[in-house]
Chains A and B, each alone.
Chain A
């Protein structure tokens, strides 16, 4: 298995621009998580899905952030408009409660820099 795939690996954009981060979970996993990691705040859970349905988005910081999962093999996290304080590493992770009980498999992350 290729593991969790994220793209792009690095993104540099200017304040006010729209940013879209992409994630392909491990095949067969029914949970997908989006995290944000910064030095100041550590690892924060933004939102997670079960069977493509958002379950908990209480970690999404503002209305500028939105996430979708149109099918079991693809999810996006969108920031519109982006701000410098959104600069962070964004991780996607997937898991399956059927096996590996709650073990999350992380992607390599997308390093976002907003100028």
Chain B
């Protein structure tokens, strides 16, 4: 069965500092990987996704993530965060041949002025 772990439930970071949000998954088959962002009082929006090909994936708002198959990880990074990046971030995994997407518990990113 698939599962997603986000080890950090809360990450505070100063404005313009770099940030990394960690995600590890478990699956016995090939997977698609996603990062979603949820701003306060809103639904989830897709930040980026890995389907195949290059392991470095670039998304919206300057975020990027790297797929590491050997470590079963898909960490999200941004070199310089902005106040507007304050939000909840969800890592998710889906089997390529299956319909359901499994979401991690989320990481709350707080950007400090």
Contacts and interface: CB of A to CB of B under 8 A. Distances in A.
Interface of A: 4, 31, 42-43, 45, 48, 50, 55-56, 91, 93, 97, 101-109
Contacts of B42: 108-109
B99 A55 contact: yes
B94 interface: yes
Contacts of B99: 31, 48, 50, 55, 97, 102
Given A42-B105, A104-B101, A91 B43 contact: yes
A97 B96 CA distance: 10
Nearest to A43: B103
Contacts of A103: 34, 46, 49
Contacts of A105: 46
Contacts of A104: 44, 46, 101
Contacts, number: 46
A105 B51 CA distance: 17
Contacts of A48: 99-100
A50 B98 CA distance: 12
The 4 closest A-B pairs by CB, nearest first: A106-B43, A102-B94, A106-B44, A42-B105
Contacts of A109: 42-43
Nearest to A55: B99
B32 interface: yes
Interface in B76-113: 90, 94, 96, 99-101, 103, 105-106
